[in-house]
Amino acid sequence: MRNIKLTLQYDGTGYHGWQTQENAVTVQETVEKSIKRLTGFRPQLTGCGRTDTGVHAEKYICNFKSETTIPCDKLPYALNTHLPPDIVCINAEDAEADFDSRKSAVGKTYAYIIANSQYKNVFFNNRAWHYRYSLDIGEMKKAAAHFIGTHDFIGFAASGFTVKTTVRTISSIEITKDGDIIKISVTGNGFLYNMVRIIAGTLVFAGNGKINPDDLSDIIKSKDRKRAGITAPACGLYLTEVYY
């Protein structure tokens, strides 16, 4: 029995996140059905984590057990003929028997994209947060520095999560601007439910003057969700890298 590791790209606009749900179209369900059409058997895919409705992925890692004889260098081409155009398999490889896409991961990078212009950019519809008001990148970077390190991030999590601890370590946050497009890249050992979207919303509040960057350390320590910024829209969030 092979343990096959896949790397996927997907536009999450038309999906209710990664994980299979009743009465909702998800990425996991769609990929599993495509694998069944290819191999004759529907696997139980293990994903590197959940993504919310409307969230995208540049490199989403999943794995499944299979007795298929299709070589890994041919598998992406074969699988892509069965996948819809908003999901693409970009790599396949045989993994060790004990490899688990979720449990074996030691870190992830997410990117959040903001289209900071007066009018919407039609090419970023459903792929970025259109924010029309002026943002001070310098103030956003000052605020971002306070997130670096190990903290209890319960004040930056949406309700409804079930985890043993809300302590996470963020190793880096990079903020860049290219024309009207602002990109926030966050790397950490793990993230709580909606954590990156709340961090992005908080950095926007720092950029527009609603939050003083110097207050971020106290806001994090307060563990008070009401003191942080809004939850940024899902359409701007991308899973860009998973580390093993």
Active site residues: 52
Contact 182, 137 (CB under 8 A): yes
How many CB atoms are located within 10 Å of the residue 123 CB? 8
Q: Report, in angstroms and rounded to the nearest whole number, the Rg of the chain calculated over CA atoms.
A: 19
Distance CA 111, CA 101 (A): 20
Please tell me what DSSP assigns to residue 239: E
Residues 6+ apart with CB under 8 A from 143: 202, 203, 206, 207, 211, 213, 216
How many CB atoms are located within 10 Å of the residue 89 CB? 22
HSE toward the beta carbon, residue 194, CA cutoff 13 A: 20
DSSP symbols for 47-84: ESS---TT-EEEEEEEEEEE-----TTTHHHHHHTTS-
Residues 6+ apart with CB under 8 A from 86: 10, 11, 13, 14
> What tokens does 136 get?
């001070």
- 3-class SS at 155? helix
